[in-house]
Structure 1
Amino acid sequence: MDDREFWALVSLARRDPPATDQAAFAPLEEELGRRGEAEIKQFEDILARLLYDLDRAEFAATPSAATGLPLSSDSFLYHRAAVVLAGEQAYRSVLEDPEKFGSCAGVGAPEAEFLLYVAQHAYESLTGKEWEHVSPVDYETGSNPAGWS
């Protein structure tokens, strides 16, 4: 799977209305499941890399749109997932202009958490086995040392 295929798959998650529950991600999970184990893992690895690249202090400093307070580690992760869920153009524009992070990530950020589980659900549905895949990079907040120096 390459980045082009990844972004095409991400576009399968329903965003209009915004992805407010796990069911909005069902089309994406189903398509991943049809592609097999290798592509499910590749999807997860690309997602992890994109989230890792957004793991930067300048983005984390963006206050929550709901509270005006700094984002928690989990909230920051969900905001990064919302940027990915917004699509390739939004993702690239945020990387080019960090000030766009708040406006791009603010809508649907908590709900974007479900994107983090799409590969796991697709894999477990396909194989009946527990998901144990570990991506080459960690996307948890603070994992990208270059983004926090």
Structure 2
Amino acid sequence: MNPIFLMSLLLGLTIGQAMSFCAPIEYIIHVEKRECAYCLAINTTICAGFCMTRDSNGKKLLLKSALSQDVCTYKDVMYRTVLLPGCPRHTTPYYSYPVAMSCKCGKCNTDYSDCIHETVRTNYCTKPQKRYNL
């Protein structure tokens, strides 16, 4: 194999792994409680983007550590709490949500991330909407 081709291939793989496009992006979540009169649209940031993965077609030939299926996930996250409008006194009117400060490519942690491939679209309001801006 041509040494220049081989070096180019190795350099491309190294740069590709380092240049994964995983970063915080703006996102609007819709939050409502059955007891409260309004739905709240909250501007926040989530982690999204592309992470390099390795093809698992050769899984019988490779070690498990070589089969990397990384996802774009939180590196640093903080939680904010908002007061939901129109809630009766007997209801807890607070809602806490994550704000992505920085992201990384890594294993999906189900403690704080939704790790399924496809999700059902449920991010909408069924009640009158109010917007919450930071």
Asked whether the two chains share a fold, i.e. TM above 0.5, the reply is no
TM-score normalised to structure 2 length: 0.28
Q: Which has the higher helix share?
A: 1
TM-score normalised to structure 1 length: 0.26
Q: Which has the higher strand share?
A: 2
Q: Which has the higher contact order (CA 8 A, sep 6+)?
A: 1
